[in-house]
Amino acid sequence: MTDLLTADAFAPHQTLAAQLLAHATEGDDGSHDLAHIHRVFRNAMRIRAGEGGDAKVLAAAVLLHDCVAVEKNSPLRSQASRLAAEKASGILADLGWAEDKIAAVAHAVLTHSFSANIPPQTIEAKILQDADRLDAIGMVGVARCFYIAGRLGSGLYHPGDPDAEHRPLDDRRFAIDHFPAKLLKLSDGFQTDTGRALAQERHQRLEQFLTLFRDEI
């Protein structure tokens, strides 16, 4: 992917990106690859334009928020953002960053994750959480959901009860269960006004997809 996406794609932070892209991802998860990092970066810069915040801290947090890979079905999943924050801190320390800036990046990385369930306290952390969650809803969110389901060996839906009217939701077994279990809840938890407005549009796309999907099955 590095030959397809260069640091120039992260302008005006291409110098920082050149330093950090090699650390941005690990493993072979196509839902958390450099394309995901770039989409989150674009989301974050769009939100920052309306909300403010330290641009360099935010850019570094975006570039390093998935620097540790943990599969969705791993018992360590809830620890992924903590592990990433620790790794990011070490990377930035090696680059000579000031301790307060490292701490700001680490906090944003730590609190971005849905699984971690730690409230973000700074504007940069709030923007990163919103920017990352935007990539989990809308049409990209649909694509990522089914991609991950394929990695985990899940079915598309329960053929006898696709809407889980008479059974508990099980998004480890059925991809479509992930919509009511998580994806349709995400738009209610956005941290910034700008992110919230973008989320509402993408949430509507999720609902439209589900309507069409149900019609076809």
120, 152, 186 - which closes a domain: 120
Domain annotation covers residue 179? yes
Residue 129 lies in a domain: no
Given a contact cutoff of 8 angstroms between Cβ atoms, the answer to whether 41 and 63 are in contact is yes
For the segment 147-169, what is each residue's pLDDT rounded down to a tens digit? 999 999 999 999 999 999 999 99
Q: Are residues 148 and 98 part of one domain?
A: no
Q: Tens digits of per-residue pLDDT, 181-216?
A: 999 999 999 999 999 999 999 999 999 999 999 999
d(CA 68, CA 30): 14
Same domain, 110 and 145: no
The predicted model gives 65-70 an average pLDDT of: 87
75 with 112, same domain: the answer is yes
Whether 126 is in a domain gets the answer no
Question: Can you tell me the distance from the alpha carbon of 116 to that of 37, in angstroms, rounded to the nearest whole number?
Answer: 19
Q: Kindly state whether residue 125 falls inside one of the protein's structural domains.
A: no
Full-model pTM = 0.91
- 202 and 159 in a common domain: yes
Q: How many domains does the chain have?
A: 2
Domain boundary among 120, 145, 166: 120
pLDDT score for 75: 61
Q: Closest by alpha carbon to 21, among 55, 56, 67, 54?
A: 67
Give the three-class secondary structure for 123: helix
Co-location of 106 and 25 in the same domain:
yes
Percent of the chain with pLDDT over 70: 95
Give the residue numbers spanning the domain of 147. Answer: 136-217
- Average of pLDDT values for 57-71? 91
